[in-house]
Structures are given as C-alpha cells and as structure tokens.
C-alpha cells in the first residue's frame, strides 16, 4: 500500500492540474454518488490534499470528494479527452477544460461537506499527519510520552494511524533503524534523548521520502550509488527489503522478522542496544 509520502506526491500531481480551475464535469461510477455531479459542475476546485493515506479533492462550495485507494486504487492525470490504457474500471473522473484526473479501481469514494469531514469514521481517528506543515518533531515527541501510546511496542505504534498518520511498513523499518531502536521497545523504555531522536527520525525520514520520491537512505549515499549505476531498489533504503545484505553503517547482515503482523527489517548490531546505542 502506498504510504503517506506517495499519497502526498500523488495529491500534488493532481493538484497541479485541478487547483484553481472550475470543474467542467465530475463523473461518478457509483450510482449513489451520481446526484453530486450536477452540484459540482462549474465549481472551482480549491485544492487536493492528503490526510494520512486518504485524499480529498476540495471544492469552493464546501463539498469534498474523499477517496482511499487501499491496495487497488490508482489515479491517472491526462489531457482532457485522453484515457489511459488499462483494464481497470473507472470510478471517478474530475474534468477541467484542459485536464482530467481519473481514479480507477478504488472502492472507497465518498462525497462529504466540510462539516462532515471531522466526523468521518476514518478521518476522525487519524493522528496528526507527519507531513502536515503544522506538525513538528516536538508534537510527535509529546505523543510518544502520552499515556495512550507510551506502553505500546514501537513496531505496533508506528503502524497505528491513530498515533500519527502517513507512516507505513517501509517507513517503520527505516525510522527505527535511523533512531537505532528495536521494534520491541516501547516509548516508556526510552530516555528523554532517545525519545527525542525517535520523534526527529519519524519527521525527518517521512519528509525525506516525500521529497525524494520514496528514498529514505542517506541522500548523499543514494546519489553516489545511483551515479554508479546501482538500481533504485538497491540504493533506496537503509534496511527495508535488504534481508541478508550488509548494513550500510556497520556491515552486519540485515535481518527480516515479523512485528505487528508485518515484515520488518533491522540491523542486529545497530539496533540491539536501544537508546545507549544511539550515540
């Protein structure tokens, strides 16, 4: 499933063609939504936002199209009148005079007023979006000390969208590696410094993935490796999906395990000592 940085980049790509334009036509595949087409025609699109892994197309009349792609949904942006070559089923089309944003295969599409957004069952349980300009590492550090979260294992907590939203499986492995923490540790086990470093890693690595299109490895190292002709899957991450390969920092073999039901990758040397190892 795409994680917060991928959804945000997709929202940016759609926003570039839709924002500020009036909707020439909005088409819904689902019958129960079709009555909205009339209400949205001619309305100016105010913006396209991601909230965790969900997306909102926001209209000037206070109406929003909410979508969550889960594993299957896929957006395409095309010049108006062109369709992508795909066997997928079109579920939503937002046309401006010159462009079309087309959502295929997604089944979670809803139309919500601004007032309904806060009460939406998915949106209302989301923790702060790590990529939001309003969320800083200090805010994340405060949540790590919060009684709701401080006794959860880090492996489970970092996947919980109610803690902070936008993290997913590759970010979890990468954040814990950078913070040099074991997934079984809990916030309550950490000293103040380790907790602060974890909050910084959550923020920095997620923003790096957004900026660099999913790359979480050290940017200089990634650039050097790419320059040497190393394929993207080999230079993209520190540890994720690198089972058996050498740790980029210490040379130890990366280990794959399961944490909270999902695969996780760690360096047994860099992450074995917990907070005392984070010098």
Q: Nearer to Zn ion by C-beta: 60 or 269? A: 269
Residue nearest to Zn ion (CB): 247
Residues within window 5-64 making contact with Zn ion, judged by CB under 5 A: none
CA distance 159 to 175: 11
CA distance 175 to 206: 8
- Indicate which residue of 3, 6, 174, 197 is catalytic: 3
Answer for the pair 267, 247: CB distance below 8 angstroms, yes or no. Answer: yes
Residue 269 CB, nearest approach to Zn ion (Å): 5
Q: Which of 24-32, 100-108, 206-214, 244-252 is the region at the interface with Zn ion (rule: CB under 5 A)? A: 244-252
**If binding is defined by CB under 5 A, does position 178 make contact with Zn ion?**
no
Angle at 55 between CA 31 and CA 239, to 5 degrees: 130
Query: Would residue 124 show up in a list of annotated catalytic residues for this protein?
Result: no
Which residue matches tokens 């926003």? 15
Q: Nearer to Zn ion by C-beta: 1 or 250? A: 250
Interface pick for Zn ion out of 249, 255, 256, 274 (rule CB under 5 A): 249
**If binding is defined by CB under 5 A, does position 247 make contact with Zn ion?**
yes
Query: Secondary structure of the chain in the HEC alphabet?
Result: CCCHHHHHHHHHHHHHHHCCCECCEEEECCHHHCCHHHHHCCCEEEEEEEECCEEEEEECCCEEEEEECCCCCEEEEEECCCCCCCCCCEEEEEECCCEEEEEECCCEEEEEEHHHHCCCCCHHHCCCECCCCCCCHHHHHHHHCCCCCCCCCHHHHCCCCCCCECCCHHHHHHHHHHCCCCCCCCHHHCCHHHHHHHHHHHHHHHHHHHHCCCCCCCHHHHHHHHHCCCCHHHHCCCCCCCCCCECCCCCCECEEEEECCEEEEECCCCCCCHHHHCC
Q: Nearer to Zn ion by C-beta: 18 or 254? A: 254
Q: Nearer to Zn ion by C-beta: 142 or 250? A: 250
Q: Which of 81-89, 133-141, 187-195, 262-270 is the region at the interface with Zn ion (rule: CB under 5 A)? A: 262-270
- Indicate which residue of 124, 224, 232, 262 is catalytic: 262
CA distance 180 to 247: 12
Q: Which of 158-166, 178-186, 194-202, 260-268 is the region at the interface with Zn ion (rule: CB under 5 A)? A: 260-268
Q: Nearer to Zn ion by C-beta: 212 or 269? A: 269
Query: Would residue 3 show up in a list of annotated catalytic residues for this protein?
Result: yes
Residue 63 CB, nearest approach to Zn ion (Å): 50
Q: Which of 17-25, 73-81, 121-129, 259-267 is the region at the interface with Zn ion (rule: CB under 5 A)? A: 259-267
Number of residues that bind Zn ion (CB under 5 A): 7
**If binding is defined by CB under 5 A, does position 269 make contact with Zn ion?**
yes
Residues within window 203-222 making contact with Zn ion, judged by CB under 5 A: none
Strand partners, 262: 259
Q: Nearer to Zn ion by C-beta: 40 or 179? A: 179
- Indicate which residue of 8, 53, 236, 248 is catalytic: 53
Interface pick for Zn ion out of 250, 253, 257, 258 (rule CB under 5 A): 250
Interface residue list for Zn ion (CB under 5 A) = 247, 249-250, 252, 267, 269-270
User: Would you name the residues annotated as active-site residues?
Assistant: 2-3, 53, 262
């Amino acid at each position: 499933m795409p994680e917060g940085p991928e959804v945000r980049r997709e929202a940016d790509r759609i926003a570039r063609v839709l924002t500020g334009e009036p909707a020439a036509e909005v088409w819904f595949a689902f019958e129960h939504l079709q009555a909205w087409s009339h209400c949205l025609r001619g309305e100016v699109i105010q913006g396209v936002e991601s909230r965790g892994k969900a997306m909102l197309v926001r209209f000037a009349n206070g109406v929003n199209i909410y979508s969550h792609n889960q594993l299957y949904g896929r957006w395409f942006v095309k010049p108006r009148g062109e369709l992508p070559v795909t066997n997928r089923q079109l579920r939503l089309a937002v046309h401006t005079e010159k462009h079309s944003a087309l959502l295929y295969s997604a089944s979670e599409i809803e139309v919500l007023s601004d007032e309904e957004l806060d009460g939406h069952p998915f949106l209302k349980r989301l923790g702060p979006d790590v990529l939001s300009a309003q969320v800083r590492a200090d805010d994340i550090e405060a949540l790590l000390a919060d009684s709701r979260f401080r006794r959860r294992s880090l492996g489970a907590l970092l996947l919980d969208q109610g803690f902070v939203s936008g993290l997913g499986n590759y970010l979890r492995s990468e954040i814990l590696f950078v913070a040099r923490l074991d997934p079984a540790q809990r916030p309550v086990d950490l000293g103040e410094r380790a907790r602060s470093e974890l909050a910084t890693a959550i923020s920095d690595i997620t923003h790096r993935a957004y900026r660099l299109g999913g790359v979480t490895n050290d940017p200089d190292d990634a650039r050097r490796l790419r320059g040497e002709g190393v394929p993207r899957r080999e230079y993209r991450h520190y540890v994720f999906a690198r089972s058996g390969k050498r740790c980029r920092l210490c040379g130890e073999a990366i280990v794959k395990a399961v944490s909270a039901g999902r695969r996780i990758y760690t360096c047994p040397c860099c992450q074995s000592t917990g907070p005392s190892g984070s010098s």
